[in-house]
Structure 1
């Protein structure tokens, strides 16, 4: 029986992106095939997602986690790779030890030894096991997820539902609020928009009756006089635009 093809994710860290072609060539020499490639800007949240384990927990050594996250933040290359047979054993041999200094001694031809710098700046990281590979493929290459691992996640449907919810429940009121900001150009745009959203909530609109809202007095919300004056004209502005 022929060995099965296994898929996993590799990330070329920002400091090693300029060595991408040589790194890919080295991976191909170790039997890996590149099936997909993305260039992404890894933020703090993205780095946190990459560093956490399957239970959503971080390592107890906060200093090492912080350094690892720092090495990931920036413009990186995410690769979807495949290998015939034991992919994770092949990864360990191809990448070498995580510490570049140790990699130079133990496996001088490894990716970490040849392209790494120091500490967590070790050029490339990869999925550590099949479960991590599944999670990372779902995250970085969702359209390939069902092909490689079967319908184990409804991540695409969840994104569609989130997008539909945003467009139906939030976008119309937000667009009205942004239009109002552009027309009025208030000195305090954030409180202005906040007041607009609170007072124009389609589910719980606030209606000020004559004499109920007194200009110049401090309001329960703590808004400034300028914002209070502007909120009194929201309805008039919105009605005219519609």
Structure 2
């Protein structure tokens, strides 16, 4: 049952930064969220923020935009908007890789064969209803955390391999698309036009202002 917006639960310790990643507890196992959170904490993660939300189909489409056009995309969107989910910001040293390992392979059937102790093997149902989601790299974690927690400040600024990864996956494709449109439009003031286009098409732009936030039960 949905209700009025509630405050996001924030449990971030002061003056501490470690790597962060986004975790989602999906609709079919939301009733197991406390049990899963306990496993997360016992695995060495800190839960910095969490919120229980119910995505609309449009918001689920935005979150999984990278899969747009794939055969499973409509059923994925329907599944992720079918009920409430729990979004969690997790932190620890090498949080992204450790969470990926704890969650296990995407396909539940493969997970049961190769990683029987992982969370998807334990809680997943099939190749799509796999119980949990995790960010796959630094830039994805940044985008996904901001999707659910628009006011999050994610530090430090990416450097080295992380910076190259972020530029190649997020900045360069967006900039190339903007420059291509600029050449097509040929505006009188190309600098202002491009600046406006980049603001409007920022891939990190929050798109979940109207998400239904559920009352704690």
TM-score, scaled relative to structure 1: 0.54
2:99 corresponds to? 91
Q: Runs of 5+ in structure 2 lacking a partner?
A: 1-16, 158-198, 207-217
Select which of 137, 145, 150 maps to 1:137.
145
Distance in 1 (CA, whole Å) between partners of 2:22 and 2:63 is 11
Q: Say whether the 8 Å CA contact 1:7–1:148 is kept in structure 2.
A: no
Shift of 1:59: 4.8
2:178 corresponds to? none
Q: Give the structure, 1 or 2, with the largest relative contact order (CA under 8 Å, sep 6 or more).
A: 2
1:45 corresponds to? 58
Q: How does 1:74-89 map to 2 (within 5 A)?
A: 74-84=83-93, 86-89=94-97
For residues 59 and 147 of structure 1, do their structure 2 counterparts lie closer, same or farther at Cα, with a shift above 3 Å needed? closer
Shift of 1:88: 2.0
Distance in 1 (CA, whole Å) between partners of 2:80 and 2:119 is 16
Query: Which deviations, in whole Å up to 9, do the C-alpha atoms of 1:199-219 show, x marking residues without a partner?
Result: xxxxxxxxxxxxxxxxxxxxx
- Is 1:128 equivalent to 2:136 in the alignment? yes
Shift of 1:29: 2.8
Distance in 1 (CA, whole Å) between partners of 2:79 and 2:156 is 29
SS in structure 2 opposite 1:136? helix
Shift of 1:142: 1.9
1:148 corresponds to? 155
Alignment: residue pair count: 145
Q: How does 1:197-216 map to 2 (within 5 A)?
A: none
Q: Say whether the 8 Å CA contact 2:142–2:154 is kept in structure 1.
A: no
Distance in 1 (CA, whole Å) between partners of 2:20 and 2:97 is 13
Query: Which deviations, in whole Å up to 9, do the C-alpha atoms of 1:88-128 show, x marking residues without a partner?
Result: 22122100011111111111111101111112111110111
SS in structure 1 opposite 2:117? coil
2:28 corresponds to? 15
Decide which structure has the larger Cα Rg and report it.
1
TM-score, scaled relative to structure 2: 0.60
Q: How does 1:1-242 map to 2 (within 5 A)?
A: 5-53=18-66, 58-61=67-70, 63-73=71-81, 74-84=83-93, 86-144=94-152, 146-148=153-155
CA RMSD of aligned residues (A): 2.4
Distance in 2 (CA, whole Å) between partners of 1:147 and 1:93 is 22
Distance in 1 (CA, whole Å) between partners of 2:79 and 2:39 is 21
